[in-house]
Amino acid sequence: MNKKLVYTLSLLLFFFSSTSIAETMHTVSNGETLSTIALHYFGKSSEWKKIADYNNLQNPNALRIGQKIRIPSAGETRVNTPSANIPPTRISTTLPSVSSSVINSAPDPVVQELMLVDASGEIELTRAGNRITISPGSRIKAGDTIRTNAFARALFSGMGGERYAIGPLSIIALKEISSSYADRRIIIRIDQGELDLVAPETPFMTRYSIETPTGNINTRFGSFLMNVTPPDKTAISVYDGEIIASAPRGDVNVKAGEGLVMRTLELPQSAAALPQEPGISIEPALTSIIVAAAARKDQKILFDIFRDRDMQRHTVRRQVNTDGMGVAISRFELPAGSYWIACRSLSEEGLSSRFVMQGPVTLKLP
């Protein structure tokens, strides 16, 4: 075999060996982002763009669990122009050590916004000391403060599909809402009032942090209702997912179907079961709607009447105690129109069952 043939075979062997190791398939798992994947393969989270460009990802934030992505090179690959005197390329399987400077080289967070979907009553938005009038479609930014009056409600949506429902007499500040290729962060401060948050589970490392006068609530996803009564009481009712309540004197895990009351100067309580959901019966009359709720005896029942299914156009709220048979009955005098009736049970400490809703109930006055 002559030297020319040996040289040609060497070139072919080098080419196929280098290209076979130049690409690795990676399956996306729960919680992974391009930054964490780049950190694993290259030792630098800042190399996320190389993976995004290599896979033609239009939205690098939209990875799916189980998605296959190609890694352009795994480890340190040295590719040079081959010659007869150059040995085969060596591949290092040892990842470089990760330092704080590497971690801090991740892309800067991208500022996001919330959008007002629906609203009723008087809502005041303060931005940089100025009062701004808002309406459905308005954008809410970090640093904004929202105040609602006694009959107002506001519904906001986020970029991750989450929904924030703010109840009457609430003061809520959006401190941070940002996204990077490593995570999403939403930080909200609620000084008083009611916040109903529904956050879907996503493959991203999403973190919701709700600050209150009595401590902080942290979660990745789920559904829960918060009622803050200044200066020192916060009641949290968890319907889905799990939260960590961080009070000044200890942390408590609260799972779905449980609730917790936090007070500033008290040791944190254990999570307690939520009140039983009431059963309701509705009877429309000529000029009124009669609502009966069945629960435990001596139970507080909260009735809310709305003009829409999304519970934004609030008409009336009334609290009634059940009798010795566990039944609460209330009559609502209302003008002609269609109504949705929402009902929930309340504990002595203010924990809430899920809403039970029926509607539409239509009144046609003679």
Q: Per-residue pLDDT tens for 239-278?
A: 999 999 987 777 899 999 999 999 887 777 889 999 999 9
- 352 by Cβ neighbours in 10 Å (0-12 / 13-18 / 19+) ranks as buried
pLDDT the model gives residue 109: 54
Q: Tell me the two tokens of residue 338.
A: 């269609």
- 242 by Cβ neighbours in 10 Å (0-12 / 13-18 / 19+) ranks as middle
- 103-121 mean pLDDT: 72
Tell me which DSSP letter residue 150 carries.
T
Domain made up of 279-363: CATH architecture: Sandwich (2.60)
Give CATH superfamily name and number for 3-103.
LysM domain (3.10.350.10)
Given pLDDT bands bounded at 50, 70 and 90, which one contains residue 84? very low
pLDDT the model gives residue 4: 53
Q: Tell me the two tokens of residue 255.
A: 């799972």
pLDDT the model gives residue 59: 67
Domain made up of 110-273: CATH architecture: Sandwich (2.60)
pLDDT above 90 (res 107): no
**Residue the block writes with tokens 């930014």:** 141
pLDDT in tens, 51-66: 888 888 866 666 777 7
The answer to whether 3-103 and 279-363 have equal CATH topology is no
Quick one: what percent of the chain has pLDDT higher than 70? Answer: 78
Q: What is the pTM of this model?
A: 0.68
pLDDT the model gives residue 18: 41
pLDDT in tens, 292-341: 999 998 899 999 999 988 888 888 999 999 999 999 999 999 999 999 99
Q: What residue type is 23 in one-letter code? A: E
pLDDT above 60 (res 70): yes
Q: Tell me the two tokens of residue 275.
A: 């009140």
Indicate the pairing of strand 206-212 with strand 222-229. Answer: unpaired
pLDDT the model gives residue 277: 93
d(CA 366, CA 364): 6
Are the C-beta atoms of 172 and 161 separated by less than 8 Å?
no
Given pLDDT bands bounded at 50, 70 and 90, which one contains residue 144? very high
pLDDT in tens, 210-236: 999 999 999 999 999 999 998 889 999
- 28-32 mean pLDDT: 68
**Residue the block writes with tokens 């090179």:** 73
The residue among 299, 4, 36, 304 whose CA lies nearest residue 182 is 36
pLDDT the model gives residue 108: 54
Query: Domain limits of the chain?
Result: 3-103, 110-273, 279-363
Given pLDDT bands bounded at 50, 70 and 90, which one contains residue 146? very high
